[in-house]
Amino acid sequence: MIRCRLPGKTGRWPIIVLWSEMEIKSLKIPSQYLLVPLFQNGYNGRVEKIQKAEMNLHSLKKLRKELHSKPELSGSEKWTSQKVTEVLKTLKPDQLITEIGGYGIAAKFSSTGEAKQTLLFRAELDGIAVEEKTGLDYQSTNNGVMHGCGHDGHMAILLGLASELHQQPPEMCDVWLLFQPAEETGMGAAAMLADRAFDEIEADQAFALHNLPGFAEHLVLVKREVFAAASVGLEISFEGRSSHAAYPEEGINPSDVMSELTLFVNREFDEFQSGGALNKIVTTYIKLGERAFGISPGDGRIGFTVRSESDEWVEKAVKKVEKKIGQLRKNFDGQITMKKTEPFAATVNHAEGVDGVISAAERLDLKVEEMSDPFPWSEDFGEFRQKFPITLFGLGSGEGHPPLHSETYDFNEKLIATGVKLFREIIDGGH
């Protein structure tokens, strides 16, 4: 049987309508109504199941707010991981692995029949280093940290999916639910992949969604091939020797070589920047000395961000910077070092996965938009394509919704039911 909850005029109680599997195919149910399978044998317990499902959505929203109020930075998601694990244990997955690559978690729900494939769905655990200014009663209680990217909502969606899989296990495929640490720094996926515990996790397809402010609510955004850019941060340190400003010749001031490197990056990357619309190299910070007019500084730092829709283009740009640094070392009596930080591989979607998302969305009467250009930001989900095909798609949060990473951002809870429904349809639809 299939149930559909329709809003009625009977006060607070919804109208309950039950259809057979054959009848539902001939009906066009509006996309805002959540369809959930019922047990096929007997009538007893159906109303109870409906009420329980309503409680689940309420509980998911309550849990999302609790996660929102206690965000943790990348690599420090101890409480978040413990909370997610606690919830997962109540849903009795067939396999539960914790502390993967730090605080990562994986839960497996096995098929009731012969599994034809294995699917994986991912959410993120970490918050960002921004002071929240939403004024909400569940605003972050951790100073300088907030869930400004919606990872609290992504976790709620995946836990909602876990609840669905607990109530009605998949029939023809095994499902892994993956909770990834340190997505914001681009370090979490690599850490999970490097952990031996991750060797147990195999998938024919892996999926993830990201809420996207600036787009219509519930709009499904897909992109074939590259969905989000590759990027890397470069930290260049200059170690000289400070001196009195009256005797600069007694010190080693790195200002000349720092200026030369900055101008080189600004002027000598035309070929790189013309190689693709997303090819960019940006100076993100320059630090030299203090506001002290009696000191000639000896140390300095420069930060650059390199991004492109191609991993190869990023690596080519990095090598060009490295070559220039090698030349600068010859004329600088101090030391120059370069460190890569926050590396993100390009998120390259698998064609079959994109088709599966589109088909699932269309069956649910959700609007789909196929993008012609990838997003310029980066997502650590791209790293997982080292092991299995991946598909990342967007879910619109509302055209006027505050942007990601802003102090006033909060996840749109209307997306929880849509996200659960869409992931479940991908599973049941055979993709």
Contact predicate 335/282, CB 8 Å: no
Helix (H) or strand (E) holding 98: strand 95-100
Predicted confidence band of residue 56 (pLDDT cuts 50, 70, 90)? confident
For helices 46-69 and 78-90, the axis angle rounded to 10 degrees is 170
DSSP 230-246: EEEEEEEEEE-B-EETT
Decide: 204 and 118 in contact? Cβ < 8 Å: yes
Residues 90-119: tens digit of each pLDDT: 999 999 999 999 999 999 999 998 889 999
C-alpha distance from residue 12 to each of 6, 8, 34, 61 (Å): 12, 8, 18, 19
Is-contact 207 119, C-beta < 8 A? yes
pLDDT of residue 430: 58
292: Cβ–Cβ under 8 A, 6 or more apart, which residues? none
Q: What is the C-alpha separation between 226 and 423, in angstroms, rounded?
A: 21
| Cβ atoms of 213 and 401 closer than 8 Å | yes
Decide if pLDDT at 300 tops 50. yes
Please state the separation of Cα 179 from the chain's center in Å. Answer: 10
Whole-angstrom CA distances from 362 to 30, 215, 318 are 12, 18, 42
Using CA atoms, how far residue 372 sits from 225, 227, 241, 278, in Å, is 10, 10, 51, 13
pLDDT of residue 7: 40
E strand or H helix at 281, and its extent? strand 280-288
Q: Which of 124, 110, 113, 120 is nearest to 165 (CA)?
A: 110
pLDDT at 53 over 50: no
Specify the DSSP class assigned to residue 218.
T
Span 225-240, pLDDT tens digits: 999 999 999 999 999 9
pLDDT tens readout for residues 122-155: 999 999 999 999 999 999 999 999 999 999 999 9
Helix (H) or strand (E) holding 336: strand 335-344
pLDDT at 115: 87
**Residue 407: DSSP 8-state:** T
Q: Which residues contact 170 (CB under 8 A, 6 or more apart)?
A: 109, 110, 111, 112, 427, 428
Widest pairwise Cα distance in the chain: 92
| Residue showing tokens 């000289």 | 240
**CA 264 – CA 304 distance, rounded (Å):** 12
Where helices occur in 292-397 by DSSP H, the ranges are 311-329, 351-363
Tell me if 192 sits within 8 A of 100, measured CB to CB: yes
- Domains plus CATH for the chain? 48-228+346-428 (3.40.630.10), 235-340 (3.30.70.360)
Q: Is 317 left (phi over 0), alpha (psi -120 to 50) or beta?
A: alpha
pLDDT given at position 251: 98
Mean pLDDT, the chain, whole residue set: 89
Distance CA 230, CA 106 (A): 25
Query: Can you tell me whether residue 181 is helix, strand or coil?
Result: coil
Q: Which tokens go with 424?
A: 């479940």
Q: Give the pairing type, strands 299-308 and 347-349.
A: unpaired
